[in-house]
C-alpha cells in the first residue's frame, strides 16, 4: 500500500490543469453499453475508477482500450450480450450500479452486486429501484445481487423522494429505451447530470431538461456510438483552490467551467481570498490570515458535499469558530479524528462539526478513510509544521489523477512511498 509524505509550509505557486470529471466519467463509461457500438470518450481522468470500469466492460465482453496519455477511451460494446457484475467486480466502486440502468435499457435485464464506494453513510439505492419498477421492471435482491428484468420498459412519471444524483442518472439511462415518455421530477441538477444527458443524446437518445429538476426522456428504438468529451472535474478544481488557499500560495487553475465552481469561489472569497476568473481559468491568491466561515452542504447549486472535507481542513487554521453542517451524508466526518491527531480543534455533534481555528497543525502519521477525506489530509499536510505521512492513499488514487505530480509542479514537498 502506498503512502504520501508531505512537508508542510511551502507556498504553492504555478499552474495546474484540471482533469476530466470522475463522477461524469464513471456514469458515461457504463452508459456505452446502451450504444452496442463503438464510442470514443475524450478527456477521461487517469484514475483507478476508470481502470476498474474498463476491466468490468471487458469482462462483460466489451472491447475497450484506454490511452492514458491521450486520456482517451475506445469502447466497443457491440459484443456484450448480458450483464452480470459479481461482488468481485462491483465492490471497487459505487458507480458499478450504473451497469443496472444501462443494461436494463439495452437488454431489459441485469444482475449487479451491491456497489462499493466511499464509506460516508448508508447510501441506499431505494430511489434507483423505485425508478426501475416505475418503468415496468421487476427488481429482486438476493445473495447481495440486484436482479432487474422487464418484459418491456414503458415511460412513466417518477417523483424522486431525494434529489439523488445516482438515481437520476440510472433512471435516465434505462428510460432512453423505454417506449413513450418518462418524466423524472425532483431530479438532481449537478453539472454531471447534464454531461451524462449530453452523452446519451450523442448516442441518439432524446433527453431534455437535464440540469433542472424536471427531466423528460422520449424513448428511442435504437442508439449508436459517438465521440464525446467529458467536462472538467469541478471537485478536483475546488480541491486545488483550497490547496492554494491553505498554503497562502498563488495558483492558476486551468480548464475549468467557472459556473460550476460558484459555491466554492463564493465561500473562499468570504474567507478573504482573492480569486480572479478569466475564461476557462481562475487564479487563487492566498492570504496569511483566513476568516472563519459557516458551511452547509446542499445539492447543486449549493455547496458540494464532496468539498466539505477539504474545506474543513482549511478552516482548522482560520481565525475564529466555523460551523460545518453536512446535510447529504450522515457519516462524512470520519476524517475529523485524523485531523485532531494533527492538533485540529473540532467537535462533531450529529451532522454538525464545530471547528475552532488553531495557529498551526503539526505533521504526524494519519490515514485516509475515504476519497475526499484523503484530500483533506493532503491539505492539512500542506499546512502543517513538519512532515505528515498519509496512509491508505489508494482512496485518493480513485478520484485524483497523479495528485503528487500536480502538487510537485506547484512546488509542494511531497513524495509517494510504496
234 annotated to bind ligand: no
| Shortest spacing between CB 242 and ligand EPZ, in angstroms | 14
Q: Does residue 171 interact with ligand EPZ by CB under 6 A?
A: no
CA–CA gap between residue 125 and residue 115 (Å, rounded):
10
88: left (phi over 0), alpha (psi -120 to 50) or beta: alpha
76 annotated to bind ligand: no
Q: Does residue 123 interact with ligand EPZ by CB under 6 A?
A: yes
CA–CA gap between residue 356 and residue 114 (Å, rounded):
39
Q: Does residue 60 interact with ligand EPZ by CB under 6 A?
A: no
Size of the site for ligand EPZ (CB under 6 A): 28
Name which of 22 and 111 has its Cβ closer to ligand EPZ. 22
47 annotated to bind ligand: no
CA–CA gap between residue 216 and residue 262 (Å, rounded):
27
Task: Work out the angle at residue 396's Cα, subtended by the Cα atoms of residues 398 and 46, and round it to the nearest 5 degrees.
Answer: 45
| Shortest spacing between CB 122 and ligand EPZ, in angstroms | 6
Cβ neighbors of 59 (< 8 A, separation 6 or more) are 89
Q: Does residue 166 interact with ligand EPZ by CB under 6 A?
A: yes
Pick one of 54, 71, 94, 106: the residue that binds ligand EPZ (CB under 6 A).
94
341 annotated to bind ligand: no
- Taking alpha carbons only, the member of 236, 244, 243 closest to residue 284 is 244
214: left (phi over 0), alpha (psi -120 to 50) or beta: beta
CA–CA gap between residue 146 and residue 100 (Å, rounded):
8
125 annotated to bind ligand: yes
Say whether 118 is catalytic: yes
306 annotated to bind ligand: yes
CA–CA gap between residue 257 and residue 259 (Å, rounded):
6
94 annotated to bind ligand: yes
Going through 143-286 in order, the beta strands assigned E by DSSP cover: 145-149, 157-159, 181-185, 207-208, 214-218, 227-229, 250-254, 274-278, 281-285
Q: Which residue has the cell 462524512?
A: 332
SS3 of residue 102 by DSSP: helix
* Element (DSSP H or E) covering residue 68: none
CA–CA gap between residue 26 and residue 111 (Å, rounded):
18
Q: Does residue 329 interact with ligand EPZ by CB under 6 A?
A: yes
124 annotated to bind ligand: yes
**Joined grid coordinates for residue 343:** 492538533
Q: Does residue 99 interact with ligand EPZ by CB under 6 A?
A: no
CA–CA gap between residue 407 and residue 410 (Å, rounded):
5
Name which of 39 and 146 has its Cβ closer to ligand EPZ. 146
Q: Does residue 118 interact with ligand EPZ by CB under 6 A?
A: yes
User: Residue 278: beta bridge partners?
Assistant: 281
Q: Does residue 26 interact with ligand EPZ by CB under 6 A?
A: yes
127 annotated to bind ligand: yes
Q: Does residue 312 interact with ligand EPZ by CB under 6 A?
A: no
Q: Does residue 371 interact with ligand EPZ by CB under 6 A?
A: yes
Instruction: Find the part of the chain contacting ligand EPZ (CB under 6 A) among 20-28, 34-42, 73-81, 316-324.
Output: 20-28
Given the residues 39, 83, 118, 176, select the one marked as catalytic.
Answer: 118
- In the range 146-165, which residues lie near ligand EPZ by CB under 6 A? 162, 164-165
CA–CA gap between residue 21 and residue 19 (Å, rounded):
6
Name which of 13 and 123 has its Cβ closer to ligand EPZ. 123
Q: How far are the Cα atoms of 186, 374, 393 from residue 96, in angstroms, in the given order?
A: 23, 22, 21
Answer whether 186's CB lies under 8 Å from 160's CB.
yes
**Joined grid coordinates for residue 86:** 459479481
| Shortest spacing between CB 225 and ligand EPZ, in angstroms | 24
**Joined grid coordinates for residue 181:** 415518455
Q: Does residue 128 interact with ligand EPZ by CB under 6 A?
A: yes
Name which of 317 and 335 has its Cβ closer to ligand EPZ. 335
Q: Does residue 253 interact with ligand EPZ by CB under 6 A?
A: no
- In the range 375-414, which residues lie near ligand EPZ by CB under 6 A? 399
| Shortest spacing between CB 4 and ligand EPZ, in angstroms | 18
Minimal CB distance residue for ligand EPZ:
166
Residue list, annotated binding site for UDP-N-acetyl-alpha-D-glucosamine: 94, 123-127, 306, 328
Q: Which sequence positions are flagged as catalytic?
A: 118
Provide the binding-site residues for ligand EPZ, judged by CB under 6 A. 22-23, 26, 94-95, 118, 121-128, 162, 164-167, 188, 190, 305-306, 328-329, 371-372, 399
Residues annotated as binding site for phosphoenolpyruvate?
A: 22-23
Amino acid at each position: 500500500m502506498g503512502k504520501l509524505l508531505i512537508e508542510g509550509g511551502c507556498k504553492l505557486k504555478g499552474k495546474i490543469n484540471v482533469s476530466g470529471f470522475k463522477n461524469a466519467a464513471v456514469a458515461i463509461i457504463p452508459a456505452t453499453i446502451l450504444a452496442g457500438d463503438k464510442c470514443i470518450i475524450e478527456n477521461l481522468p487517469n484514475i483507478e475508477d476508470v481502470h476498474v470500469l474498463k476491466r468490468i466492460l471487458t469482462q462483460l465482453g466489451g472491447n475497450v482500450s484506454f490511452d492514458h496519455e491521450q486520456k482517451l477511451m475506445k469502447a466497443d460494446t457491440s459484443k456484450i450480450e448480458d450483464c452480470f457484475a459479481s461482488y468481485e467486480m462491483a465492490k471497487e466502486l459505487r458507480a458499478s450500479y450504473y451497469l443496472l440502468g444501462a443494461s436494463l435499457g439495452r437488454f431489459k435485464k441485469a444482475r449487479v452486486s451491491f456497489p462499493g464506494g466511499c464509506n460516508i453513510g448508508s447510501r441506499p439505492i431505494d430511489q434507483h429501484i423505485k425508478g426501475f419498477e416505475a418503468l415496468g421492471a421487476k427488481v429482486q435482491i438476493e445473495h447481495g445481487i440486484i436482479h432487474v428484468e422487464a418484459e418491456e420498459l414503458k415511460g412513466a412519471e417518477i417523483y424522486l423522494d431525494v434529489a439523488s444524483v445516482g438515481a437520476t442518472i440510472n433512471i435516465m439511462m434505462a428510460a432512453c429505451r423505454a417506449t413513450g415518455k418518462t418524466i423524472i421530477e425532483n431530479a438532481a441538477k449537478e453539472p454531471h447530470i447534464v454531461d451524462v444527458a449530453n452523452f446519451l443524446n450523442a448516442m441518439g437518445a432524446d433527453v431534455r431538461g437535464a440540469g433542472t429538476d424536471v427531466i423528460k426522456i422520449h424513448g428511442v428504438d435504437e442508439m449508436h456510438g459517438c465521440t464525446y468529451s467529458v467536462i472538467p472535474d469541478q471537485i478536483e478544481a475546488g480541491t486545488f483552490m483550497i490547496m492554494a488557499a491553505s498554503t497562502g500560495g498563488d495558483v492558476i487553475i486551468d480548464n475549468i467551467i467557472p459556473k460550476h465552481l460558484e459555491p466554492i469561489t463564493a465561500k473562499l472569497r468570504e474567507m478573504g481570498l482573492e480569486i480572479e476568473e478569466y475564461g476557462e481559468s481562475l487564479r487563487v491568491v492566498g492570504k496569511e490570515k483566513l476568516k472563519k466561515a459557516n458551511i452547509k452542504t446542499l445539492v447543486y447549486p449549493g455547496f458540494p458535499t464532496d468539498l466539505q472535507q477539504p474545506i474543513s481542513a482549511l478552516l482548522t487554521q482560520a481565525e475564529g469558530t466555523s460551523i460545518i453542517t453536512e446535510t447529504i451524508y450522515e457519516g462524512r466526518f470520519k476524517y475529523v479524528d485524523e485531523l485532531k491527531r494533527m492538533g485540529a480543534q473540532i467537535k462533531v455533534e450529529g451532522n454538525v462539526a464545530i471547528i475552532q481555528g488553531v495557529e498551526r497543525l503539526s505533521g504526524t502519521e494519519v490515514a485516509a478513510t475515504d476519497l475526499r477525506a484523503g484530500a483533506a489530509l493532503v491539505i492539512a499536510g500542506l499546512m502543517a509544521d513538519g512532515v505528515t505521512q498519509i496512509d491508505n492513499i489508494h482512496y485518493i488514487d480513485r478520484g485524483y489523477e497523479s495528485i503528487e505530480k500536480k502538487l510537485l509542479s506547484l512546488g509542494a514537498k511531497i513524495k509517494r512511498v510504496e
